[in-house]
Amino acid sequence: MLGCEIGSEHFTYAKQEEYKRARELATVLGCDESTIYRWFRLYQSQGMTGLLQFKTPPGKPSKLPPEVLERLQMRLQERQGFSSYGEIQQWLATECNCDAAYQTVHGIVRYKLKSKLKEPRPLSVEADPQLQETFKKNFGSPVHRVIRITNY
């Protein structure tokens, strides 16, 4: 299972007499049995300090330094915000002297900082607001449509 981390509470379970098999302990902890065996091998070779050591995950370091990420986060929280990811790219280049690809900027803003652009996408000039409201009233959300259809 994903996200199974080791902590002191895991050793409390392991020391109890009722869990004599790795499979039982893995079930209780919500981990795979191989994880339990890996923890025991690590404990035998490096002791408690080896088990409780935090490891940095593999992968590339972020293209933007932490200070720049903080500044970007603050700027995204401002009322005017940004209207496009391209505008964020330009801001990063001019204000922070950081060059980042569009895809990188999008990934950082959307997923790492969990933020969105402040300005909504433009509407078509041909859009009829009255017709849109009528559509929303008559059809509602997809869930309401399904409920309405099943009630007939």
How confident is the model at residue 87, as a pLDDT?
Answer: 94
Q: Does pTM surpass 0.95? A: no
Q: Higher model confidence: residue 151 or residue 29? A: 29
List Cβ neighbours of 64 (8 Å cut-off, separation of 6 or more): 72, 92, 96, 98, 100, 108
Return the closest-CA partner of residue 75 out of 115, 19, 16. Answer: 115
Averaged pLDDT of the chain: 79
Q: Would you place residue 104 in the very low, low, confident or very high pLDDT band (cuts 50, 70, 90)?
A: very high
Length of the chain: 152
Residue 118 has pLDDT above 80, yes or no: no
